Structure 1
Amino acid sequence: MVSAMRLFQVLSSFVAGITLMRPVNGETMTLFDFKTLKNVDNWMEISDTVRTVGKSKATLVLQKTQVFQRAVLFTLLNPQPNGAGFAGVRTPTNLNLSSFKHIAITCRGQGENEHYKVVLRHNDLETNEDISYEQFFTAPMSSEKFSTISMSLENFKAYFRGREVEDATPLNTSNVTMFGLQVYGGVYLPIKQKGVSALEIETIVATS
């Protein structure tokens, strides 16, 4: 019998546009295995302090113990009164994902915020004046277990400074040159967030 908590997680993820993913047979490619990486030095902070009014902070670190290793994205989100604000990290990549359909993240969240997004850029676009391709997800909140969420590559939409760009060209999945994770204030969204949070991540993979 499915527990009430499990049912709630499934329904919440469905509403957010993602589904909790069961392991499936098929082609996969590991993008980031934080259980074995030696460091995360190539991940850089990208938070709202790139603008004068920004007050948020993010950092990605490896948590290592005698029995496990994982990454933790710590965020302090201090948005403006209208919800404008973000805190996250990103890393340059050289990914050809054209033969894959999904990005799957094994993670769990703790703290005040559960709503995050994956931020991709393609074709070597990297400045704050370039559009990005984003998809929102709800982190499974738990201090005990990890869950895997799956996001369709087809559902990444173009954004510029929080607003969707409807006439933009689709994401070029054959040339993804930047990968990022963010927590957001929700300036143009009904959900508003602020405060301190942690997203623990074991792996990020591409799946067919």
Structure 2
Amino acid sequence: MGGAPAMRKPLFDFTDPDAATAWRAIDDRVMGGISRSAMRHAPAGHAVFEGTVSLERNGGFASVRSSPGERGLAGAQACLIEVRGDNKRFKLSLLTDDGFDSLNHQASFTPQGTDWQTVHLPLADFRASFRGREVTGAPPLAPANIRQVGLMIAARQAGSFELHIRRICLI
């Protein structure tokens, strides 16, 4: 069939060992909790978002976020993330500014089983959030303006976790 080729913008290709170094942990320690996480490159050629979520001291989430950069794609309709996990629920966050504590747009996903899979997250399903609470009336995500990308585990899922990631891209 004819037509224009699909737009695709790689946000992160974790087969590159340096891609994981652009990410930093932002855990519930910012609120007094004791959860811990990190993003590292695995020798098998992908990144691993891993750590431990603790509910002690009003905690309950662990997250990592990329450094700011030109990551947007005008007209993008979805985000694809190639992952395998431990059947826990994660959130992908997209931010349109360079701030540390700012509005972000989140969509949840749960990798099933231990095989690699590509999760398709329509941008229309991303919900505006600030400090873990949904923000009603916020403007929709503007895909051309994406500056930061984040991963989070929350929802009172205490214990250790591992999410393996090969790629994140916009389409």
| Residue pair 2:97, 2:148 contacting (<8 A) in 1 also | no
Paired position in structure 1 for 2:22? 42
Paired position in structure 2 for 1:117? 91
Q: Distance in 2 between matches of 1:38 and 1:159?
A: 29
Q: Distance in 2 between matches of 1:59 and 1:163?
A: 23
Matched, 1:127 2:100: yes
1:90 to 39, 51, 65: 65
- What code does the residue aligned with 1:196 have? S
Paired position in structure 2 for 1:171? 141
After superposition, the CA RMSD in angstroms is: 1.9
Q: Distance in 1 between matches of 2:119 and 2:54?
A: 27
2:77 to 101, 120, 123: 101
- Measured after TM superposition, the shift of residue 169 of structure 1 is 1.6
Q: 1:182-201, aligned counterparts within 5 Å?
A: 182-184=152-154, 186=155, 192-201=156-165
- What code does the residue aligned with 1:154 have? A
Q: Provide closer, same or farther for how the CA distance between residues 171 and 93 of structure 1 changes in structure 2, counting only shifts above 3 A.
A: same
- What code does the residue aligned with 1:149 have? V
Give CA deviations for 1:45-99 in whole Å, capped at 9, x if unaligned.
01100112x11001011011xxx411111120002588x5210110123122222
- Measured after TM superposition, the shift of residue 36 of structure 1 is 2.4
TM-score after normalising by structure 2: 0.88
Q: Which runs of 5+ in 2 are unaligned?
A: none
Q: Which runs of 5+ in 1 are unaligned?
A: 1-24, 187-191
Matched, 1:136 2:108: yes
TM-score after normalising by structure 1: 0.74
Paired position in structure 2 for 1:33? 13
SS of match in other structure, 1:104: strand
> Which runs of at least 4 in structure 1 moved beyond 3 Å after TM superposition?
none
- What code does the residue aligned with 1:69 have? G
Worse-matched range after superposition: 91-100 or 70-79: 91-100
Q: Provide closer, same or farther for how the CA distance between residues 164 and 80 of structure 1 changes in structure 2, counting only shifts above 3 A.
A: farther
| Residue pair 2:13, 2:19 contacting (<8 A) in 1 also | no
SS of match in other structure, 1:41: helix
Q: Provide closer, same or farther for how the CA distance between residues 45 and 167 of structure 1 changes in structure 2, counting only shifts above 3 A.
A: same
Q: Percent identity?
A: 30
Instruction: Tell which structure's C-alpha radius of gyration is larger.
Output: 1
| Residue pair 1:75, 1:183 contacting (<8 A) in 2 also | no
| Residue pair 2:72, 2:147 contacting (<8 A) in 1 also | no
Q: Distance in 1 between matches of 2:131 and 2:45?
A: 34
Paired position in structure 2 for 1:4? none
Aligned residue-pair number: 166
